[in-house]
Amino acid sequence: MTFDQFIKEINKLPETFENRELETFLLAIYKNLDDNKDIYIKEQATLDMILCILKESFTSEPAEFDVDWLNITQTPDPNRMSRIFTAPELKDEFDRTNYAEKFGMEFTKDVLKFQISELHKMRGKQLDDEYRYFGISSETGSLWYNFDPFTNLECGTRCMEDNEDATEKIDWSFIGNLLEDGRVYE
């Protein structure tokens, strides 16, 4: 599957699935990855596999929320957005360092924990703002623009298409990067 085909499949998700709360969707992704980590870690991630995981997460059982995740106050790579939103001709003028301490599957799981905890903390507060899709800051100061799986995935793929050249080599960090891009891309 090419990245263009992946984008088309993501954009067709509303035709097949009912939208679900983003926190529940992310918990379902987390459960899938955690339950199958021994299988997934032995395989090279592909866009087909990732699409399958995302599709399953619209209907599969979510993981239990872990209250320890509420202690997470920062995204796994706080510099990610600076790195990808930089025009190539300006690449030397910006810090493009990846500050993530983990990579691959562990990076994605850390992104999931961060986003799940953020959404959990915003319940009854920022998530009730009728204008939230224009952008809100969480209690940790992180920006959010997309609050359901459909818009998160669609904006995440659009962000990758507009700003990255890293969509040719796919690894297990792709899911985490997709979700982070979806969180902040308008």
Q: How many structural domains does the chain have?
A: 1
Looking at residue 139, what DSSP letter applies? T
Residue 82 domain-assigned?
Answer: no
Q: Do residues 46 and 1 make contact, with C-beta atoms less than 8 angstroms apart?
A: yes
Q: 78-82, 103-107, 181-185: lowest mean pLDDT where?
A: 78-82
Residue 50 domain-assigned?
Answer: yes
Residue 146 domain-assigned?
Answer: yes
Please write the tens of the pLDDT for every residue from 127-149.
888 999 999 999 999 999 999 99
Residue 13 domain-assigned?
Answer: yes
pTM exceeds 0.75 for this model: yes
- What is the structure's pLDDT at 96? 46
Residue 86 domain-assigned?
Answer: no
The C-alpha atoms of residue 68 and residue 121 are separated, in whole angstroms, by 12
- What is the structure's pLDDT at 157? 95
Torsion region of 170: left, alpha or beta (phi above 0 gives left; psi -120 to 50 gives alpha): beta
Residue 177 domain-assigned?
Answer: yes
Residue 138 domain-assigned?
Answer: yes
E strands of the chain, at which residues? 136-137, 143-144
Q: Whole domain around residue 58: which residue ranges? A: 3-64+105-184
Please write the tens of the pLDDT for every residue from 71-80.
999 888 765 6
B/e letters for 75-104, b = 16+ CB within 10 Å, e = fewer, are bbbeebbebbebeeeeeeeeeeeeebeebe
